[in-house]
Amino acid sequence: MNMKKIEIEKKLEEIFKDRLLLDTADLVSYGFDASFGQYMPEFVVQVLSTEEVQQVVKLANEYVMPVYARGASTSLSGGALPVKGGIVMDFSQWDDEFEIYPDDLIIKTRPGVRTGRIHELAEKHNLMYPPDPSSSVVCTIGGNLAENAGGPRGIKYGVTKDYVIGLEVVMADGAVIRTGGQTIKNVTGYDLTKLLIGSEGTLGIITEATLRLIPKPIDTKTAMIIFEDLYTSGKSISKILTSGVRPSKMEILDHNALNKVEDYAGLDLPRDAAAILLIEVDGEPDNLIKELNIIKKALKEINVENIEIAESKEAENKLWQVRKLVSPAVVESGYTKISEDATVPLSKIPEMFKKIDEIKKKYDLNIVVFGHAGDGNLHPTINTNMRDEEEVRKTEDAVEEIFNYAIEIGGTLSGEHGIGVMKKAFIKKEMGEDGVRYQQMIKRALDPKNILNPGKIFPEEGEERLVLRNE
Amino acid sequence: MNMKKIEIEKKLEEIFKDRLLLDTADLVSYGFDASFGQYMPEFVVQVLSTEEVQQVVKLANEYVMPVYARGASTSLSGGALPVKGGIVMDFSQWDDEFEIYPDDLIIKTRPGVRTGRIHELAEKHNLMYPPDPSSSVVCTIGGNLAENAGGPRGIKYGVTKDYVIGLEVVMADGAVIRTGGQTIKNVTGYDLTKLLIGSEGTLGIITEATLRLIPKPIDTKTAMIIFEDLYTSGKSISKILTSGVRPSKMEILDHNALNKVEDYAGLDLPRDAAAILLIEVDGEPDNLIKELNIIKKALKEINVENIEIAESKEAENKLWQVRKLVSPAVVESGYTKISEDATVPLSKIPEMFKKIDEIKKKYDLNIVVFGHAGDGNLHPTINTNMRDEEEVRKTEDAVEEIFNYAIEIGGTLSGEHGIGVMKKAFIKKEMGEDGVRYQQMIKRALDPKNILNPGKIFPEEGEERLVLRNE
């Protein structure tokens, strides 16, 4: 053990006592997340206050040691992976500090609080926190802030960034700053709040967030639309969105996804359909069936008539169960699930479906497609046998083709999962050399020693493609 | 004329021919906006393409000369004022370049296009661009982007920033970069889009924006609530926002504002009221009266019962006319109107009203208050005789007290007008030394020579308070 490490260990021990973890078993368990790859940190500390975070960052700054914030490790892009070793700050134990102000429609929360807890707190006051990533029961709000998490309500209510109005942040030199405030409108100074949300822990460590809440819609109603071809499903999305009705959710499952769910759970789904679209509308109860009828009428104009409205809450819950079961249904034992989230302009959804189908056939891979149709955010998901070198290579090629096509048709590499380690090789393709150069200027200005979550989100020398296996 | 100026003039002439303006009369007319203060640029050029903007910025970078983007000059904070001389780029002639993609729910626009034109274009396709500053008939979208403009629909639909998904920007070294893209969800890299929106032309010059549109609500309905005391009006705002209904507009006028409008236009308003609240709901027609009834029922619980629902479109238009007439009504001939936009947490609106009333009495000033109640964004507006030194001093003191109190109760200096030259002396009070230091790191990283809209948005040595007269 070198001198630097001994000194850091001594100082961390003074601050954290038994909340400093050094056992190999502990270090290993902090070295992976819901993406893939395994890295080894040198220290893990369980932080419980802004002051502790500040002390760790000051140490990291003094000794030029990497430092990573980590919540529940549900990241699909490797956002929290300690790829350069160093100190992992585990926020998950600091999980019960929040204050809700129902009259101001805001909640102040520490990053370790679970997202699901925030939903419950808001609902107690007849309010809603709309962002709802699939992992909301287990994930922490801190990870949602770092990655700018989305979820199915994005189409009507936006994503995490749209609900963060203020932050407390520990910056790379250990300074604690406050950005934004407690008001919905705020144009004082540069918007560091929105710069930090989605910056994946590379510009500062968030220690508190002020989230705005909205009135909880009184009721919801859901319909399922069944399509015989993919092209029409794509046209239907634009048709619905220009009908005057704003759906609160609009999720699509392709033929493969819905058959996987049917195999898994036997829910009487239309196995022959090319795709199904699940639509939820929300608001005043009497109005919901009217809104679904407006959608029906609009779809009739393009000859889409196979629409089933869920007549009861049970039927509605069953439909949303279908969507929730996609992820478990597509996991095959012994295989690694690669979840992508390339996002395309709404009118390009049919082309994207077709392209993914071509890629699936070309590489003979197990790809299903589902996702947030209303905002063009698809989740092509591949099961890969990581022990089969040939298959890994094909998967890498297929993912690269998906990325390239998404960019070609005006889309983006990532709608809600983040760049992390997964997609950094492709960032220049989307943003251009100058775009990346200006991004890196900001990184260098705010974190000149590159201690905050290093190894992301820009490619290093030679990192030119997706690599699934890092041996 | 020095050599540098001669060289720049020669180069600008080559590029712009008769679109380079040098006459004193022209230069003077580009030296003011809707705030106050008069400055003299050295050159004005009327730009018509990204390439021209790029050429000007490259020249400015080479010769280290200030450069300012300017639209319709409706800024209330001095955002476009050429306070350090240099080159003004007039975007208002580049006013007809846009492409609308109704199936993608987006519009691509150049900064010189009027905001009102964008509203019209969207509505043709049954879509809506929600941000709607009072000046939308004349102002350009470029100014809205630079200042992150708001308007009455902020409460339900957010502000300019919430609708910008991609930008083309000329950076300080003349590089043209693209940020974001054409999709609603996008987490690839740092969010330069949202950093640039509201940065008041100090970090880059926007040359194209991709705006997202939403389905246009089918109908609207409006009610007026009359209050006998200010405290209850504040309580009512939270009560309404937790009733389950989401108003699309919620505007307040205090006793003074509504009496000014009544004096001006004679609309039969309740002159004795302490305040009135105008509420609009939008959506499916049959539902609107139901939503207003839910609001009525909620307000009854706190004994607010004086509610008038506009029964016809004429009655509805008349109510909104009241709001629109506030600004013209409060202008007194020979006086300068100082429009503030301090914004406070929702529950603090009653306190803010009381404080402004105290300040009005203390300084014996002509202050009316109105604004976007639903997001805490008030517009205390003072008429001042700029020739009366004593009154100017009192106004400066009063505005300073308003700023300080807004910050004290958790609010912000500016909800939607921007910092510009008006509020820069106060920015440290809100953000702290470290907050401003990190903001300035970004400015220095992206514009190391300080050529982009210099003199904003940070105070220089000795700029410690509001100064209305800069002689």
**What is the b/e burial string over B383-392, where b = at least 16 CB atoms within 10 angstroms of the residue's CB?**
bbeeeeeebb
Instruction: Return d(Cα B345, Cα B234) in angstroms, integer.
Output: 11
Of A215, A241, A435, the CB nearest to B177: A435
pLDDT at position B1, please? 61
pLDDT at position A332, please? 75
Name every residue whose Cβ is closer than 8 Å to that of residue B120 and which is 6 or more positions away in sequence.
Answer: none
pLDDT at position A27, please? 95
Residue A172 C-alpha, separation from nearest chain B C-alpha, in angstroms: 10
What's the rounded mean pLDDT across residues A217-231?
93
pLDDT at position B469, please? 67
Residues of A with Cβ-Cβ distance to B346 under 8 angstroms:
103-105
Instruction: Return d(Cα B434, Cα A143) in angstroms, integer.
Output: 25
- Best probe of the B interface among A124, A171, A185, by most B CBs < 10 A, is A185
Pairwise CB contact (< 8 Å): A106 & B345: yes
Pairwise CB contact (< 8 Å): B343 & A432: no
Cα separations (Å) of A137 from A33, A134, A140, A147? 16, 8, 9, 17
Residues of A with Cβ-Cβ distance to B238 under 8 angstroms:
102-105
Residue of chain A whose Cα is closest to the Cα of B413? A188
Residue B261 C-alpha, separation from nearest chain A C-alpha, in angstroms: 26
Residue A16 C-alpha, separation from nearest chain B C-alpha, in angstroms: 27
What's the rounded mean pLDDT across residues A375-385?
90
**pLDDT-derived band at A469, boundaries 50, 70, 90:** low
Cα separations (Å) of A353 from A152, A169, A229, A234? 19, 40, 11, 9
In order of their start, the domains of chain B are 1-216 (3.30.465.10), 219-330 (3.30.70.2190), 336-446 (3.30.70.2740)
Q: Which of B305, B218, B215, B314 is nearest to B267 (CA)?
A: B314
pLDDT at position A1, please? 60
What's the rounded mean pLDDT across residues A293-308?
96
pLDDT tens column, B55-65 = 999 999 999 99
Q: Which of A229, A237, A278 is nearest to A255 (CA)?
A: A229
Length of chain A: 471
Number of H helices, E strands in chain A: 14, 20
**Mean pLDDT of all residues belonging to chain A:** 92
Residue A1 C-alpha, separation from nearest chain B C-alpha, in angstroms: 36
What is the CB neighbour count within 10 angstroms for residue A362? 12
Residues of B with Cβ-Cβ distance to A423 under 8 angstroms:
188
In sequence order, the β-bridge partners of residue B412 are B343
Instruction: Return d(Cα A13, Cα A35) in angstroms, integer.
Output: 31
Length of chain B: 471
DSSP code string of A374-408: GGTEE--EEEE-TT-HHHHHHHHHHHHHHHHHHHH
Residue of chain B whose Cα is closest to the Cα of A429? B188
Residue of chain A whose Cα is closest to the Cα of B412? A186
Residues of B with Cβ-Cβ distance to A161 under 8 angstroms:
191, 194
Residue B147 C-alpha, separation from nearest chain A C-alpha, in angstroms: 7
Q: What is the dihedral of CA B116, B118, B123, B124, to 10 degrees?
A: 110
Alpha helices in B125-229 (DSSP H): 141-147, 154-157, 192-196
pLDDT at position A34, please? 83
Residues of A with Cβ-Cβ distance to B423 under 8 angstroms:
188
Residues of A with Cβ-Cβ distance to B161 under 8 angstroms:
191, 194
Sign of CA dihedral B392, B453, B186, B437: negative
Paired sense of beta strands A43-46 and A87-90, if any: parallel
Of B159, B238, B430, the CB nearest to A185: B159
Which amino acid makes up residue A106? I
What's the rounded mean pLDDT across residues A457-465?
84
Residues of A with Cβ-Cβ distance to B376 under 8 angstroms:
183-185
Q: Which of A316, A69, A35, A314 is nearest to A172 (CA)?
A: A69
pLDDT tens column, A312-359 = 999 999 999 998 888 888 887 778 888 888 899 988 888 898 899 899
Q: % helix / strand / coil in chain B, to the nearest 5?
A: 40, 20, 40
Paired sense of beta strands A205-212 and A164-170, if any: antiparallel
Instruction: Return d(Cα B291, Cα B306) in angstroms, integer.
Output: 17
Give the neighbor-by-neighbor strand order of the sheet with A367-368.
Answer: A336-339, A381-384, A367-368
Pairwise CB contact (< 8 Å): A182 & B345: yes
Of B241, B417, B439, the CB nearest to A215: B241
Residue of chain A whose Cα is closest to the Cα of B440? A190
- Best probe of the B interface among A132, A153, A188, by most B CBs < 10 A, is A188
Of A150, A186, A438, the CB nearest to B412: A186
Answer left, alpha or beta for residue A333, where phi above 0 means left and psi between -120 and 50 means alpha: beta
- Return the DSSP state at A104: T
Residue B22 C-alpha, separation from nearest chain A C-alpha, in angstroms: 33
Instruction: Using 50 as the pLDDT threshold, list the residues of chain B that sit under it.
Output: 471
Residue A86 C-alpha, separation from nearest chain B C-alpha, in angstroms: 23
Residues of B with Cβ-Cβ distance to A444 under 8 angstroms:
445
Residues of A with Cβ-Cβ distance to B184 under 8 angstroms:
154-155, 375-377
Look-up of token digits 């071509």: A358
- Best probe of the A interface among B100, B132, B176, B185, by most A CBs < 10 A, is B185
Residue B358 C-alpha, separation from nearest chain A C-alpha, in angstroms: 23
Instruction: Return d(Cα B425, Cα B429) in angstroms, integer.
Output: 9
What's the rounded mean pLDDT across residues A217-233?
92
Of B105, B195, B347, the CB nearest to A104: B347
Residue pair A88/A39 in contact (Cβ under 8 Å)? The answer is no
Residues of B with Cβ-Cβ distance to A179 under 8 angstroms:
431, 435
Of A103, A188, A287, the CB nearest to B346: A103
ipTM for the predicted complex: 0.91
Which amino acid makes up residue A4? K
Which tokens hold the place of B44?
A: 């004005």
Pairwise CB contact (< 8 Å): A189 & B159: no
**pLDDT-derived band at A103, boundaries 50, 70, 90:** confident
Pairwise CB contact (< 8 Å): A191 & B106: no
Instruction: Return d(Cα B99, Cα A135) in angstroms, integer.
Output: 38
Pairwise CB contact (< 8 Å): A441 & B439: no
Residue A362 C-alpha, separation from nearest chain B C-alpha, in angstroms: 27
H/E element holding B290?
Answer: helix B285-300
Pairwise CB contact (< 8 Å): A188 & B417: no
Residues of A with Cβ-Cβ distance to B343 under 8 angstroms:
183-186
Pairwise CB contact (< 8 Å): B186 & A410: no
What's the rounded mean pLDDT across residues A291-313?
95
Pairwise CB contact (< 8 Å): A104 & B218: no
Residue of chain A whose Cα is closest to the Cα of B183? A345
pLDDT at position B470, please? 58
SS (H, E, C) B212-275: ECEECCCEEEEEEEEECCHHHHHHHHHHHHCCCCCCCEEEEEEHHHHHHHHHHHCCCCCCCCCE
SS3 A68: strand
Of B182, B245, B287, the CB nearest to A345: B182
Instruction: Return d(Cα A356, Cα A378) in angstroms, integer.
Output: 11
Residues of B with Cβ-Cβ distance to A147 under 8 angstroms:
187
Residue of chain A whose Cα is closest to the Cα of B218? A244
Residue B83 C-alpha, separation from nearest chain A C-alpha, in angstroms: 18
Angle between helices A285-300 and B285-300 (to 10 degrees): 160
Q: How many CB pairs under 8 A join A and B?
A: 306
Instruction: Return d(Cα A390, Cα A398) in angstroms, integer.
Output: 12
- Best probe of the A interface among B190, B233, B416, by most A CBs < 10 A, is B190
Residue A268 C-alpha, separation from nearest chain B C-alpha, in angstroms: 32
Name every residue whose Cβ is closer than 8 Å to that of residue A306 and which is 6 or more positions away in sequence.
Answer: A225, A226, A227
